[in-house]
Amino acid sequence: MKSLITTTALVALLATAGAAQAQTLRWASQGDPQTMDPHSQNESMTNMMNGQVYEKLVMRDRQLNIVPSLATEWQQTGPLTWRFKLRPNVKFHDGSPLTADDVVFSIKRGQELTSQVNVYANAVGTPVAIDPLTVEFRMDKVNPVFLQHIDALWIMNKAWAEKNRVTKPLDFKNKEETYASRNANGTGPFMLVNRQPGTKTTYKRNPAWWGKFDGNVQEIVYTQISNDATRLAALVSGEIDFVLDPPLQDVAR
């Protein structure tokens, strides 16, 4: 839930920044994403940042209800089966079309042992492509919170992962580095431009996004500033626009 709330807060922040005529949103926090691999780590900052690039079949609205995202509709066709219709004409950032094969690949990738979301991916069963825009999930036992588990699973491009040899989530525990550590190819509203771990991460707006933007933020620049005093000084001086975690004693200031 912490991850969900933080992501929702960032979405609201982007809308507010846009309303204030900001073209570039510059923000900071003491932490930093652990990896750009969306299945490797299930950690709040990592999920929040990857959530600008990658999307799921469903998402949460501002009241935290589950609503359509990469899937436009779904239904439970039996006690152990769910069927999803994918949104047509969705493109990954490299221009590749979203298909059912990408969904099947992503769910199976999330089920790998090096994935920290495998408990959710395994709970949704076996994904099967029915046609290019239809995916069915077949389970071996009833899952009463199936949609909540689907809401934890990012969708990647199969061809991109194969091309860059990242068909399995990187083994973060053993300090593995892969192409997915610092690169990304999602369908989301922002595209990863540059990743400098521990320093700065930059995104730009995805002009081909299927959704509707709130506001006019064109670029996001995130800077990790571990020291509380330095982070606050950057905010006060105007170097950044927003601090996620100001020291409690300085909130009034």
Contact at 8 Å (CB) between 105 and 156?
yes
**Chain segment 111-138, per-residue pLDDT in tens:** 999 999 999 999 999 999 999 999 999 9
pLDDT at position 21 is: 54
Model pLDDT for residues 31-65, shown as the tens digit of each residue: 999 999 999 999 999 999 999 999 999 999 999 99
Distance from C-alpha of 134 to C-alpha of 81, rounded to nearest angstrom: 13
CA atoms within 13 A on the CB side of 224: 16
**SS3 letters for the chain?**
CHHHHHHHHHHHHHHHHHHCCCCEEEEEECCCCCCCCCCCCCCHHHHHHHCCCCECCEEECCCCCEEECCEEEEEEEECCEEEEEECCCCECCCCCECCHHHHHHHHHHHCCCCCCCHHHHHHCCEEEEEECCEEEEECCCCCCCHHHHHCCCCECCHHHHHHCCCCCCCCCCCCCCCHHHCCCCCCCCEEEEEEECCCEEEEEECCCCCCCCCCCCCEEEEEECCCHHHHHHHHHHCCCCEECCCCHHHCCC
> What percent of the chain clears pLDDT 70, i.e. is strictly above it?
91
Binned at pLDDT 50, 70 and 90, residue 252 comes out as: confident
Answer yes or no: is pLDDT of 1 > 50.
no
pLDDT at site 20: 46
| Digit-coded pLDDT (tens) for 59-105 | 999 999 999 999 999 999 999 999 999 999 999 999 999 999 999 99
What is the residue-averaged pLDDT of the chain?
Answer: 92
158-208 tens-digit pLDDT: 999 999 999 999 999 999 999 999 999 999 999 999 999 999 999 999 999
In percent, the amount of the chain with pLDDT more than 90 equals: 87
80 C-beta neighbours (distance < 10 Å), count: 14
174 Ramachandran zone, left/alpha/beta (phi>0; psi -120 to 50): alpha
Residue 138 is which amino acid? R
pLDDT at 16 > cutoff 60: no
* pLDDT band of 108, cuts 50, 70, 90: very high
